[in-house]
DNA sequence: TCTGGGGTCCTAGGACCC
DNA sequence: TCTGGGGTCCTAGGACCC
């Protein structure tokens, strides 16, 4: 089968976080809603009405506070437990329509159709309707011969929801040219603010302009990714389709503090917490890491940082906690005010097949880690934990309006009276 | 006063080696 | 005093994505 038979579909939930918040709150169906980032810092998702007021993604909460009140807009702290669970259900529905589903982010997935006989547009209309019926999520679908063109199609489906009924097909050359001619270069997937500025200096203003460029020249001027984007705009697939999540090459956990911190003991607890979460993610993907980086952020936007290597790769939380303590001693300054802390694991490799160094005296306790994970999976996060995590979480972030974890915590299940 | 978090990939430049 | 060239590996920083 030639690659000409391959079509990609990008399915994306409209205002996903807002849609999730509305799921269990039918009273919010026609009411404006926005969702704030972690720590209730800024707006990260909103309904069309809020957009029409000029609120942009990333606007700080304090700047829109009065606007929200004036227009009676309901706002929520983000609830990633809920969004993650709904996302899984979304992908499950997509799998009823093709066995080739590649989740791309929490709210969008690529599908691949190969040698599909029948009307693909109709199939996707059907898919869209099913997602809406089963999960009550509004989605848009873009079809194209490459992922980049499917993204372009999705852009138009979202922009013209009414006239397209939420599905746009850019497989034909004629539709494609029109779509690219009317698409500003900054709206192409992979072309951000900086690159579009530079492209415009070269008089490359639209996706069609970029499509017609000499890709070798632009590869030299920019990078291989620019070359790939151009080829994808011409219908030649360059970006891979990963059906299964790839093992992460770095694992990061970080949070801003609810209130600024100066105390070393509090910082240590926060870092221990982040290291614990990182190690859980590491074990979940069956990997080992050989180094850990901890970083702090002060009021003055500088970020002291320390990277420590283990004597051999490990997934044992306690080894990383020891490293944290050493690292913090190196970078902590009592006269500083800290806003944020984080931990990153690096040098990641699969644990399967790892040849342990027989001369290494470091304790590795896979059974202990496994028991820890099993207990916490059953009884909830940190049901059992290392003492260095502490108990009072004085550093915890703000989340003043978080909705219940309707689908993932027994205590949060809706009760009917 | 208050501005998120978690990733990927690419490139440039320095260290080091032969 | 003169002091090459090519390769690899690592890291930091930048750009992008959602």
Q: What is the predicted pLDDT for the residue at A357?
A: 64
In terms of Cβ atoms closer than 10 Å to its own Cβ (0-12, 13-18, 19+), residue A324 is buried
Orientation angle between helical segments A120-135 and A80-94, nearest 10 degrees:
140
Please say whether the beta carbons of A276 and A317 come within 8 A.
yes
Burial class (CB in 10 A: 0-12, 13-18, 19+), A56: exposed
The predicted pLDDT at position A391 comes to 82
Chain C positions within 7 A of any protein Cβ atom are 11-12, 14-18
8 Å CB contact between A276 and A384: no
What's the CA–C1' distance between A342 and B4, in Å? 13
Tens-place pLDDT, residues A216-234: 899 988 989 999 999 999 9
Query: Would you say the C-beta of A37 is within 7 Å of strand B?
Result: yes
Integer Cα distance of A258 and A256 in angstroms: 7
**Cα distance between residue A311 and residue A309, in whole Å:** 7
Question: Beta-strand (E) ranges in A239-336?
Answer: 251-261, 287-298, 305-314
Q: Round and report the angstrom distance from CA (A355) to C1' (B17).
A: 27
Query: Strand B: which positions are within 7 A of a protein CB?
Result: 1-11
HEC per residue, A140-204: EEEEECCHHHHHHHHHHHHHCHHHHCCEEECCCHHHHHHHHHCCEHHHCCCCCHHHHHHHHHCCC
Nucleotide nearest to A39 (CA to C1'): B4
Which pLDDT belongs to residue A2?
Answer: 45
Q: How many Cβ atoms are within 10 Å of A71's Cβ, its own excluded?
A: 13
Q: How far is the CA of A109 from the C1' of C1 (A)?
A: 67
A246 touches strand B (CB under 7 A): yes
Answer whether any strand C atom is within 7 A of the Cβ of A106.
yes
Q: Which nucleotide is nearest to A105 (CA to C1')?
A: C18
CA to C1' distance (Å), from A106 to C18: 8
Strand C lies under 7 A from the Cβ of residue A301? no
Give strand letter and number of the nucleotide nearest A190 (CA to C1'): C16
What is the Cα A216 distance to its own chain's centre?
32
Q: Is the CB of A62 under 7 A from strand B?
A: yes
* pLDDT of the residue at A362: 63
Assess whether A190 (CB) lies less than 7 A from strand C.
yes
Per-residue pLDDT tens over the stretch A267-311: 999 999 999 999 999 999 999 999 999 999 988 777 889 999 988
Taking a C-beta distance cutoff of 8 angstroms, is the pair A82, A409 a contact? no
* Interatomic separation, CA of residue A346 and C1' of nucleotide C5, rounded (Å): 33
A41 in contact with nucleic chain B (CB within 7 A): yes
List of chain A residues with pLDDT < 70: 1-4, 355-364
Q: Is the CB of A222 under 7 A from strand C?
A: no
Residue A238, CA distances (Å) to A118, A142, A147, A350 in order: 26, 18, 9, 27
> Encoding tokens for residue A4?
């000409």
> Could you give the strand order of the β-sheet that contains A74-76, starting from the edge strand earlier in sequence?
A43-46, A33-36, A74-76
Those residues with Cβ within 8 angstroms of residue A393's Cβ, 6 or more apart along the chain or in another chain: A269, A273
Overall size of chain A counted in residues: 417
Q: How far is the CA of A104 from the C1' of C18 (A)?
A: 9
Residue A62, nucleotide of least CA–C1' distance: B2
Q: What is the pTM of this model?
A: 0.92
User: What pLDDT was estimated at residue A388?
Assistant: 85
- Is residue A327 packed enough to be buried (19+ CB in 10 Å), middle (13-18) or exposed (0-12)? buried
**Of A11, A8, A84, nearest to A241 (Cα)?**
A8
- What's residue A62's pLDDT? 93
* Residues 306-335 of chain A in contact with strand B via CB under 7 angstroms: none
* Token pair of A339 as six digits: 């806003």
Per CA to C1' distance, which residue is closest to B9? A225
Distance, angstroms, CA A219 to C1' C5? Answer: 27
Taking the CA of residue A9 and the C1' sugar atom of nucleotide C11, their distance in angstroms comes to: 38
Residue A197 confidence (pLDDT)? 94
Q: Which of residues 316-375 of A touch strand C (CB under 7 A)?
A: none
Q: A263 is written with which tokens?
A: 């105390």
Q: What is the pLDDT of residue A173?
A: 94
A151 touches strand B (CB under 7 A): no
pLDDT value for A3: 46
Residue A1: what pLDDT?
Answer: 42
């Amino acid at each position: 089968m030639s690659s000409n038979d391959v079509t990609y579909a990008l399915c994306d939930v409209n205002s996903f976080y807002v849609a999730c918040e509305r799921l269990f709150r039918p009273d919010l169906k026609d009411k404006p809603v926005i969702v704030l980032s972690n720590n209730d810092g800024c707006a990260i998702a909103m309904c069309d009405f809020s957009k029409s007021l000029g609120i942009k993604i990333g606007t700080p909460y304090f700047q829109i506070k009065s606007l929200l009140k004036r227009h009676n807009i309901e706002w929520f702290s983000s609830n990633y437990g809920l969004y993650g669970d709904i996302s899984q259900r979304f992908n499950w529905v997509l799998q009823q329509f093709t066995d080739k589903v590649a989740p791309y982010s929490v709210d969008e997935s690529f599908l691949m159709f190969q040698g599909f006989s029948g009307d693909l547009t109709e199939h996707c209309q059907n898919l869209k309707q099913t997602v809406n019926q089963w999960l009550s999520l509004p989605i848009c679908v873009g079809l194209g011969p490459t992922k980049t063109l499917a993204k372009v199609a999705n852009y138009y489906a979202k922009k013209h929801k009414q006239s397209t009924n939420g599905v746009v097909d850019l497989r034909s050359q004629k539709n494609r040219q029109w779509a690219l001619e009317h698409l500003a270069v900054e709206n192409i997937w992979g072309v951000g603010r900086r690159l579009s500025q530079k492209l415009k200096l070269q008089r490359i203003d639209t996706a069609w302009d970029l499509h017609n460029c000499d890709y070798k020249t632009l590869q030299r001027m920019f990078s291989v990714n620019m070359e790939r984007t151009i080829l994808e705009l011409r219908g030649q697939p360059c970006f891979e389709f990963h059906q299964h999540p790839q093992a992460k090459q770095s694992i990061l956990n970080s949070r801003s503090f609810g209130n600024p911190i100066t105390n070393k003991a509090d910082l240590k607890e926060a870092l221990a917490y982040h290291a614990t979460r990182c190690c859980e993610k590491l074990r979940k993907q069956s990997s080992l890491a050989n180094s850990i980086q901890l970083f702090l952020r002060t009021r003055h936007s500088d970020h002291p940082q320390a990277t420590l290597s283990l004597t051999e790769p490990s997934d044992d939380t306690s080894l990383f906690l020891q490293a944290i303590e050493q690292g913090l001693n190196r970078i902590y300054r009592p006269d500083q005010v800290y806003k944020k802390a984080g931990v990153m694991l690096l040098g990641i490799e699969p644990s399967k097949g790892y040849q342990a160094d027989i001369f290494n005296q470091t304790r590795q306790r896979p059974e202990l880690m496994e028991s820890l994970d099993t207990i916490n999976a059953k009884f909830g996060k940190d049901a059992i934990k290392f003492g260095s995590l502490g108990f009072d979480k004085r550093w915890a972030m703000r989340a003043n309006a978080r909705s219940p974890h309707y689908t993932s915590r027994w205590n949060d299940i809706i009760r009917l009276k």
